[in-house]
Amino acid sequence: MKTTNKKTILIVDDTKINIDILIELLDDKYDVLVSLSGRRALEIVDETHVDIILLDILMPDINGYDVCRVLKSKEKTKSIPVIFITANTDEESIEQAFEVGGIDYITKPFKALELLARVKTQLNVQKLIQELEESHKNMELLASQDHMTKLYNRRYFSEISASIFKLSKRNQHSLSVLMLDIDKFKNINDTFGHHVGDDVIISLAHILKEFSRESDVTCRFGGEEFLILLPETSIEGAFSIGEKIRKHVEELVIEFGKKQTLQFTVSVGVAEVDFEKEKNIEQTIQRADDALYAAKESGRNKVCKAK
């Protein structure tokens, strides 16, 4: 059974004495897998997580260069570091090892300290790369998110909605916009305090996530205002979704303080993109905003369709 705190090394070599030496050097620090052929090595990396590969160049079925080429051509395995192990020390062999994607090479006969140091170095480099990639992903996520609601922010919505607008127009697929605003939100803040107002906003965000499909783009547009972009959705479908959200919000009870409760409502405007007349999604958003204003003016806690 694989221990979770050890990295996994795959040794690919068809010579038993080389394998025995490598296992003796590495087995205490790492989980070691062995393949006697290039074909079997490619099967192993498809079946099992491998952190680093020690790959012999000269093998009977597929040579190490070709194995490395296959590894680097696949999304799943292209980032696995490959260290070539070879008796060839000529410049041409070493140059080819790097050209096909090898990250380092170790010459035979093996020097124990050198081998361990090179393996450890490449694993540390790989760890650093993974940490940087994860940090970059987190930075991108933070840049696209509203910090309070964890919904998309307005900037990201502007970018993605423009792309979805163009794609929907090209394919002549329905695209609708749903705009929501919390009714009398200023009264909530003035009466109960901004911390309760924040709870109301977060509660609404949870409801919007619950009713959003994977293809929908839901964002906090600003303050107590929210937008949902609904691909493949007519105005009738958008109205139905808006009505479900409105009813769910109306029935929600927020508890705070010492057994205090609060209920609130939303007004909703919906609009479907008119690709013949509208050149961008902003024009549709404006019509949804007009419909939202009509919902407010006619008594709030309503869903109105754009004209």
Determine how β-strand 52-56 pairs with β-strand 8-12.
parallel
In whole angstroms, give the CA distance from residue 112 to residue 144: 48
Based on its alpha-carbon atoms, the radius of gyration of the chain, rounded to whole angstroms, reads 30
C-alpha atoms less than 13 angstroms from C-alpha of 9 in its C-beta half-sphere: 26
Spell out the long-range contacts of 187-190 with Cβ–Cβ below 8 A and sequence spacing 24 or more.
188/262, 188/264
Rounded CA separation 1/102 (Å): 29
Closest among 204, 186, 184 to 194, alpha carbons compared? 186
Q: How far apart are CA 138 and CA 134, in angstroms?
A: 6
Tokens of 71: 């590894």
Residues whose CB is less than 8 angstroms from the CB of residue 20 and which lie 6 or more positions away in sequence, other chains included:
none
**E strand or H helix that includes residue 221:** strand 217-222
Question: Which residues are known catalytic residues?
Answer: 224
Structure tokens at 22: 């490598």
Query: What is the C-alpha to C-alpha distance for residues 146 and 73, in angstroms, rounded to an integer?
Result: 37
